[in-house]
Structure formats: C-alpha cells, structure tokens
Amino acid sequence: MNMSQSQEQADIVEGYNFAYLDEQTKRMIRRAILKAVAVPGYQVPFGSREMPLPYGWGTGGIQVTAGVIGADDTLKVIDQGADDTTNAVSIRRFFARTTGVATTERTKDATIIQTRHRIPERALSEGQILVYQVPIPEALRWLEPRETETRKMHALEEYGVMHVKLYEDIARFGRIATSYDYPVVVNDRYLMRPSPIPKFDNPKMDNMPALQLFGAGREKRIYAIPPYTKVKSLDFEDHPFEIQKWDDCCALCGAKDSYLDEVVMDDEGGRMFVCSDTDYCEDRRTEGHIGPMGTPLAAE
Amino acid sequence: MNNESTPLLSVQDLGKDYGGQIGCTDVSFDLWPGEVLGIVGESGSGKTTLLNCLSAQFAPSRGAVIYDTRVEGQRDIFDMSESERRLLMRTDWGLVRQNPRDGLRLGVSAGANVGERLMAIGARNYGEIRAVACEWLEKVEIDTGRIDDQPSTFSGGMQQRLQIARNLVTNPRLMFMDEPTGGLDVSVQARLLDLLRGLVTRLGLSAIIVTHDLAVARLLAHRLMVMKNGRVVEQGLTDQVLDDPQHAYTQLLVSSILQP
C-alpha cells in the first residue's frame, strides 16, 4: 500500500504460536484486560510471562498487544514518539515475524499502537487501541512502601498523600515540578500512574475515543481507560495543572503545538528543537509546512 | 455541645492476648470530655498494648471500646467499617508516638507534615494549607521560617512538637500519647510538658497518656491508672494515687522516685 508498510514486511518464523504466547496465556491476559476495562484505573494482577526481552524493555506492553492483536490488525510501535528507535523497531519486527500482521508508521492507519513514553500528537479515533508500556504501575509506590497498605489506600480512596508530594514540589520549587508520569484520577475514582509520558500528554487521555491499555510486565499488573472516560490530573486550586510550553517551534516542520525534543548540534551550544512524534512531523512536512531549519520534503 | 452525661470513651472489659500470653486484661474505664488520663506502670506491664487497642492499632481479643462520635453518638470502634475507623483516626483522634520518627513523614518538609491530614480530608488549596501549617507551627513554638525544612534537620524536642502539631491540625477531641517525653532531656521535657498542658487546657482536649515517668503523670494527668502484669491494680485521682498509694505495687513505684 505504501512504502513504510512494504519495507517492514518480514518473514514469519516457524514454530511459534500466533503472537508468540500460547492461547491459554492470551485468554488469561484478555480476562485481565476485560476486568481492567470494567473498573477503569484499577490495577488487575495477571500472570506475567517471561518474554524474549528483558524486564523494563516493554514486556508488559508486548503481552497486552499479544493478547489483543488479530490477523487483520495494523500495528504501529513508538518509543519516545519515534518509530525508528531500536526498541520500537525490534518490537514491531517481533510482531511482524510472529503474527504476519501489517505494520505501519502512520498513526491514522494503525489499529493498535504500542507506545513507550508518548501519546501520538494526532488525535486517536474510535476503534484504535493504545497500549502503554509501564515500568511502575503503583502511583503511591514512593510514598508508601507496603503493597498491602497501598491496596487498602486504593480500596478506601485515601489519596491525600499524593497531594503531599505535590505540596512538597511547590514548597521546594515554587510550582508543581513533576513533569512526567504525572498522577491522574480516572473516572473520579482510582488514582493512576499514566506511565512515564510527559504531562504534556495528560490532557489527551481525558475523554479519548480510543481504548487505552497499560501493561506492567515485571510488576504483573494490567490496567485500562475505556474510551470516553474522564481523566483528571491532580492539582491545587491555586496551582492548577499546566503542560510544558516551548519558546521555539519544531525546526523541521514549524509545529508549535507538539512536544519538542531538544537536539544538541555541536560543541558551541548550537541546538534545535524537533517534534518528538516523527510521524506527525513527517505528515506536516508532506503537507508543505517548513520550519526554520527544514527543507521541502519533495526535494529529497 | 456534647451531652455532658456521656463519656467520650468508654472501655469495657478490654483484653488482648498474644497467644497464651496476656497483653492486658479486664480493663474498664470511662474517659470524660476534657479529661486527661495517665497510664503508668513498669516495662512489660501492658501499657502500650492497652494504648494500641484503644487507638485501634490492634484488634483486642475481648471487650469493647465505645467512642462518642460527633455525628452518630456512641459507637463501638471495632464495629465500624475500616474506612469509618480510619477517617475517625485521622480527624477526631491524634496519636503521638514515643519516637517522632515513627509519627512523622521524614522525606517531606515540616509544612507538608502538618498539612497532610488536611489534604487527606480534601483540602486542595495550597495557600490555605500553608497558612494553617504556619499557624500550628507557631502554636507549638517552632520558628515559621523553618516550614520548608525537613524534620530530619530538627532536634528531638522540635520533632516531638512537630508531631503534636501534625496531629492537632484537624482539631481532634482525643489524643493518645505514648511516652511523649521519652528520650528528651529534662529541660526540653519541661518545655514540652508546659506546652502540652497549655494546649490541653486551651483546646479542651481529652488525652490518654502512657508514661513510666510519674512526674510527667503528676503534671499532666487528672486521673491515673496503675498497671502491672496486664491488669489495672489501682486507679483514682492523680494526687490521691501518688500521695496515698493503696496497692503494694503502687507504693513501690512511688517510693522508687529519685529525690534530687
């Protein structure tokens, strides 16, 4: 269909079940996902399996993706917004070789998007699934070390201590300095860690038409936000939640509304800001937007 | 406001066993609003076990602890649901521990420590929380300039005062104190006792104070309970118990005080 789809077409490896995991395991994961969707933001324990990559590299996300992927799905994998980093390329190739599904780099063509650390800039639509890789699912973890106690706190909705952390931020830095993995309350009930996405992406989670699934492999937890669910970032009345802002625009596509990465160019302090979402940047350049350091895409 | 004829806390035949061992047993008493009760006794006499049962840290093996709640009147605290009990513990009660490090959140500033209970019951305005925290630091004689310092940089006496402020911020009616002056030197002890006495009188608090120090008991407590081997051997007005002890053990305890 298009370039990015055909160039990634890999051979299917023999001897593995569809999507690597056996059917019983996938059923177990699907049961956990169903429960997670039914109780938005609640962390459902599941029997996390050993995957052919180390913990911390996305084992939770991979298992969730393996649980929901079907032969007619189109998969996109991003890492820090980019489709072409090592982690994204290997996970995409893993599923291409174990399932034979089509893969893509285009957000709007994908039915499943597995992500680490970002939500795509382009608004997601109904029918799409966003799968997050989660290192630490427990929002109260650094405030309360006991697992029995944190579960009780979730059960009794005792979340005051989370505000103690935000208070401490303001007392120390004059503002809420937490900039990623910013705590949210889902559906006015459960406190949830959105995985280490920048707080820039938090507003996108609110009322999103797509289904959002979260998998933590090492911690053996799955949680979810169903489509069109209220997601509120915690704040104080006199210190409301704010997202990051930049003085610059993207050097390649000129976007002012996207999350920018700072790239150091030389030893003289030269730097540029570029969109962290590579697909969004490319789309804009194809449409003819050019930033201060960009060249028209057609000339390449 | 409160009905004068109902006790704030009513304890009936309370007992706690550790396997075959008796922690404390057959304890009954009433605590009236504004009253300070001292529990004295030697190490291992069951003082702390009793306090832990009263303050719902442990579930007792027998008996009942009936508290006069603000809204629903008298309720057995162990018949309440856990969420009700925990709400009671962080609004209407205070618990001051012997070691302030157990009662404080050491990783966050003094202001956050005082504000924690407010945030737990839904305060969401930073400026207001901070103003209340300042007010309470003043009341317990901590320099408000230190509001953003970590409690680990405070002296032992300051930590203990910070712990008291952190508990009093929700205007509780009942305080449990486990050896509040333990581990402090004599002059710091005196200041803390002075402060406590002032606060208890001014705020009309009821308090249950566990101590092995009879001088502390004489200064703070209106009524005294003497414990030995998990049982109450004598109780009465503080002066009466200390000046005219009836039970042999109380006589021994009183005669053991060093006279400087």
Tens digits of residue pLDDT in A70-96? 999 999 999 999 999 999 999 999 999
- On the question of pLDDT at B14 being above 90, the answer is yes
- On the question of pLDDT at A258 being above 80, the answer is yes
Is B121 an 8 Å CB contact of chain A? yes
Cβ contact A161–B124 (<8 Å): no
Cβ contact A160–B120 (<8 Å): yes
Mean per-residue pLDDT over chain A, rounded:
92
**Phi-psi map region of B205: left, alpha, beta (phi>0 left; psi -120 to 50 alpha):** beta
Burial of A124 (0-12, 13-18, 19+ CB in 10 A): buried
**Per-residue pLDDT, A295:** 81
**Per-residue pLDDT, B253:** 86
Query: Coil, helix or strand for B41?
Result: strand
Nearest CB to A167; choose among B83, B86, B126: B126
- On the question of pLDDT at A30 being above 60, the answer is yes
CA distance A240 to chain B (A): 10
**Per-residue pLDDT, A7:** 47
* Contact criterion met (CB below 8 Å) for A279 and A120: yes
Chain B's closest residue to A176, CA to CA, is: B126
Packing angle between helix B156-168 and helix B110-120, nearest 10 degrees?
20
Is A240 an 8 Å CB contact of chain B? no
- On the question of pLDDT at A297 being above 90, the answer is no
Q: Which chain B positions have a beta carbon within 8 Å of A239's beta carbon?
A: 126
Cβ contact A171–B116 (<8 Å): no
When pLDDT is averaged across residues B150-155 and rounded to a whole number, the result is: 93
Is A242 an 8 Å CB contact of chain B? no
Cβ contact A163–B127 (<8 Å): no
Query: Could you report how far apart the first and last alpha carbons of chain A are, in Å?
Result: 21
Task: Tell me the pLDDT band of B185, cut-offs 50, 70 and 90.
Answer: confident
Cα–Cα dist A266/B199, whole Å:
64
- On the question of pLDDT at A8 being above 60, the answer is no
CA distance A177 to chain B (A): 14
- On the question of pLDDT at B143 being above 50, the answer is yes
When pLDDT is averaged across residues A252-272 and rounded to a whole number, the result is: 92
Is A232 an 8 Å CB contact of chain B? no
Provide the percentage of residues in chain B whose pLDDT is more than 70: 98
Nearest CB to A237; choose among B108, B117, B125: B125
Q: Which chain B positions have a beta carbon within 8 Å of A171's beta carbon?
A: 109, 111-112, 130, 147-148
Nearest one of A52, A82, A75 to A282, comparing CA atoms? A82
For B24-46, how does the pLDDT look when each residue is reduced to its tens digit (9 = 90+)? Answer: 999 999 999 989 999 998 888 99
Positions of A marked active-site: 41, 250, 253, 275, 281
Burial of A235 (0-12, 13-18, 19+ CB in 10 A): middle
Tell if the pTM clears 0.80, that is, is over it.
yes
Q: Which chain B positions have a beta carbon within 8 Å of A160's beta carbon?
A: 116-117, 119-122
**Per-residue pLDDT, A124:** 96
Chain B's closest residue to A156, CA to CA, is: B83
When pLDDT is averaged across residues A35-61 and rounded to a whole number, the result is: 95
- On the question of pLDDT at A184 being above 70, the answer is yes
Task: Tell me the pLDDT band of A298, cut-offs 50, 70 and 90.
Answer: low
For B210-248, how does the pLDDT look when each residue is reduced to its tens digit (9 = 90+)? Answer: 988 888 888 889 999 999 999 999 999 999 999 999 999
